[in-house]
Amino acid sequence: MTVRCACFISIATILAALLLYGCAGIEGILKPGPERDTEITAAIKPRRQREFAQIQRHYDLESLLISILQYNNLALSFDYFPQFAWNGDFVFPEYLHKIFRVENSPFRPGEGTVLIAGYEGFETELRIERALLRREIGSEWWQVRQTYFDDTIHYEVFVSEDGDPVRIRYIEPGSGIPHEVEPGGIGEYDGMQEGHSEERELLLEEEEAAEIAKEWSYAFNEPSIVGEELIEVAAGKFIAVHVRDTYDDEYGTIVDYWISPDVPGNIVKIVYSSPGLDSYIVELQVLTVGNTSVIEISEIVEGAGDPDGVEG
């Protein structure tokens, strides 16, 4: 869900509007990269379904719901991508920091997930494909492809161990030209670092505790663990932890999360439901392996794109 139809500034408020409208969208399956990196191929074997037949990793309520906050920020970041791609706006990299600073799921190099979302009975409106391309000492390369109806963004981000985006490669909307930028050296993001370094340092320190708590209060009301359950989705059958949250709103909104700490990305299924209204469902469609970069390094242009050069 994005800012236009499905953002999570407040689940209780935004979901109420979402459940009033049906949406139609796109379909498709994420394909592994055409050429597999030798190092990645040697390091990974496709997981067997029996690996998800029981919960093996330790979990508590907070560790489970961290993946939901991450999903929310992924969805919210969508609308800020064009400003970053064309003007170097700092908001999108700030979202990337929010996303990757809390990464705690068991991705192996080359593994990816496809999450699809939409109203029950309607076609997919949102699709998020994510993969860990490579892991290095103190850093990781991630790939994200996100489609909302007919709009798609594609980027690969090199993040430090504390989640800061060090380099971002992306496909410029409209032109299809690949770019690479260092977020700390462009546009307002650079000005925020240099001109307001003390304020930024203070902000980042406070974010680690206060802002996560703020996001938590926006996203959840009184979540509780129902238990471990076998659930079947398009990607297969999984033992997942069922968490339920109920909102005291006019719609009687109930949110059910099925989360497995053993599954890459953790999220298996989410259902937002209200009596008499269509349910909004997020579901794990497929787990992928052998993902590699699809951005040709030889064609990369340094720096942000040019909105004036986009046709239409």
Min mean pLDDT across 69-78, 156-165, 222-231, 302-311 is at: 302-311
**How far is 83 from 51, CA to CA, in rounded Å?**
42
Distance CA 77, CA 164 (A): 15
Backbone angles phi, psi at 177, to 5 degrees: -80, 130
**What would the mean pLDDT of 194-200 be, rounded to a whole number?**
57
Q: State the average pLDDT over residues 131-147.
A: 95
pLDDT value for 204: 61
Query: Which amino acid is it at 1?
Result: M
The 10 Å Cβ neighbour count of residue 45 is 10
Q: Is the pLDDT of residue 186 over 50?
A: no
For residue 19, the model assigns a pLDDT of 34
96 with 168: CB under 8 angstroms? yes
pLDDT digits (tens, 9 = 90+) for 228-249: 999 999 999 999 999 999 988 8
Q: How confident is the model at residue 12 (pLDDT cuts 50, 70, 90)?
A: very low
The whole-number pLDDT of residue 187 equals 40
Task: Evaluate whether 41 touches 165 at the Cβ level (below 8 Å).
Answer: no
Side-by-side strand order, sheet with 224-233? 224-233, 236-246, 254-259, 267-273, 280-288, 112-119, 126-136, 139-148, 151-160, 165-171, 178-181, 301-302
Read off the pLDDT of each residue in 204-229 and give the average, rounded to a whole number: 86
Closest CA to 166 of 194, 191, 138: 138
Cα–Cα dist 141/54, whole Å: 29
pLDDT band of residue 208 (cuts 50, 70, 90) is low
pLDDT tens, position by position, 73-124: 999 999 999 999 998 888 999 999 999 998 999 999 999 999 999 999 888 9
Rounded distance between C-alpha atoms, residue 303 and residue 309, angstroms: 14
- The two beta strands, 139-148 and 236-246, are unpaired
Domain ranges for the chain: 18-295
CB 206 within 8 A of CB 96: no
Question: How far is Cα 296 from Cα 188, in angstroms, rounded to an integer?
Answer: 28
256-279: per-residue pLDDT in tens? 999 999 999 999 999 999 998 999
Task: Kindly tell me if the per-residue pLDDT of 310 is higher than 80.
Answer: no
Q: Taking the CB of residue 38, how many other CB atoms lie within 10 A of it? A: 8
More confident residue, 307 or 183: 183
Sort strands 178-181 and 301-302 into parallel, antiparallel or unpaired: parallel
What is the overall mean pLDDT for the chain?
81
Structure tokens belonging to residue 226: 């129902």
Contact between 284 and 299 (Cβ < 8 Å): no
Structure confidence by residue, pLDDT tens digits, 19-49: 333 332 222 223 333 333 333 333 457 888 8
| Residue 209, C-beta contacts closer than 8 angstroms, at least 6 positions apart | none
Confidence of residue 200 (pLDDT cuts 50, 70, 90): low
How high is the pLDDT of residue 64?
96
